[in-house]
Amino acid sequence: MDAAIRRLRAEAERLARGKPRSQVRYPDGFRRAAVALARLRLGSGGSRTRLAQALGVSEPTLTKWLRPAAPPALRPVAVTPPPTLERATDAGPVLTTPNGVRVIGLDCDALVAVLRALG
């Protein structure tokens, strides 16, 4: 085993001390170093399983780290201020239905007709 693998294995053992294997959290620096070493070794014909064993991590964990990063789940959007409602100086009664529909600008007789039609 070379020095890089020994150093990473010692760090993995330190992180795993006293924890079940499924609860070990590896810092980003450790992951980046392990992936860089794995890509170098796998590119020259190394075995992923043997490399994972040498590093002291599970083979599924190393495989997951080697996958390309997923595209970001969020996409940029433009945020605009809400439109302002133009209010007439004498708007009269306003009807707001339980569904959020607003009826503005009708006289009282027309408003009563709308209410009866919704009825």
* Residue 105 · residue 92 · CB < 8 Å: yes
Two structure tokens written together for 112: 């009563």
For residue 102, what are the contacts with CB-CB under 8 A and spacing of at least 6?
94, 95, 96
Distance CA 55, CA 15 (A): 12
Judged by DSSP in three states, 103 sits in strand
* Residue 5 · residue 52 · CB < 8 Å: no
Task: List, for residues 36-67, the tens digit of each pLDDT value.
Answer: 999 999 888 888 999 999 999 999 999 999 99
- Of the candidates 4, 102, 106, which has an alpha carbon nearest to the alpha carbon of residue 54? 4
Instruction: Tell me the pTM.
Output: 0.56
Share of the chain above pLDDT 90, in %: 38
Give the start-end residues of each E strand in the chain.
94-96, 102-104
Q: Which residues of the chain have pLDDT under 50?
A: none
